[in-house]
Amino acid sequence: MAVKSLAQSSVRQAPPVNSMLAGYRPNQFHLLETVRLGANTASVTFSNLQRYSDYQHFQIRAVARMTYSDPERSLTIQFNGDTATNYYMHGLYGNGSSVGSYAFSGSSIFLGSFPAANATGSVFTGCVTDILDPFEAKTKVVRSLAGTHWNQPAVSLRSGMWVNTAAITSITLVDATSNLVSGSRFSLYGIKARS
């Protein structure tokens, strides 16, 4: 069934939608900042986030690949510049032949596997990461969905925890042994609470 052209339809306010973040309303979903890399870069940091303290949740939407010589690398997230071993995570993944699960603790939270230098050209992975209650005095919880198919296929769902009750004032996205490739994009969104 063909539907009418989008060009012929008017943009209207969206109704509530069943989404990754249950309960949010699309008209309360705001783009806060975007970083588009024009050169290979070691890390991306969103800082001074306390100015967004009127938001209940954050979401990061990323399209990225890495420079490392492996077919894949893991993008990780850290908060407030904390590089100590204050992070825990679980992962559920499919690699094209089996489903696996693992647990990990360390100095960051893995968000997903991204193509690296050996991957097919023009291949980037998409990743959606939700950061819940970044300004509340509780341990911070993260969940992330990432994946694409390339010569090392991977799709994963990960949950992580930063064991700190401080408000999140900065977010750093980094791979410790690789650069983020020019053309990668990282967008930070804020989601309002229901009024």
Partner 1 sequence: MPVTPTYVLLNQVTLSASTGTITFSNIPQNYADLVLVIAGTGAAQYRLNPNGDSGNASLVYADGYGSSTASGTDTKISLWYAPNSDSIVSITHVFDYATIDKHKPILTRANAASGAVSMYGSRWASTAAITSLVITSSTGTLISGSTATLYGVHA
Q: Identify the residue among 43, 82, 104, 126 touching partner 1 (CB under 8 A).
A: 126
Which residues pair with residue 88 across a beta bridge?
105, 161
Nearer to partner 1, 74 or 86 (CB): 74
CA distance 145 to 61: 10
Encode 69-101: b = buried (16+ Cβ within 10 Å), e = exposed. Answer: ebbbbbbbbbbbebeeebbbbebebeeeeeeee
Which range touches partner 1 (CB under 8 A), out of 66-74, 133-141, 149-157, 158-166? 149-157
Strands (E), 133-177: 140-148, 154-162, 171-174
Footprint of partner 1 on 40-99 (CB under 8 A): 51, 61, 63, 92-99
Q: Identify the residue among 131, 142, 146, 168 touching partner 1 (CB under 8 A).
A: 146
Dig out the tokens for 3 from the structure. Answer: 């539907």
Residues 6 or more apart from 8 whose CB is under 8 A from it?
Answer: none
Nearer to partner 1, 86 or 158 (CB): 158
Nearer to partner 1, 106 or 185 (CB): 185
Contacts with partner 1 by CB under 8 A lie at: 1-9, 11-15, 17-20, 26-27, 29-34, 51, 61, 63, 92-99, 120, 122-128, 145-150, 153-157, 183, 185, 187, 189-190
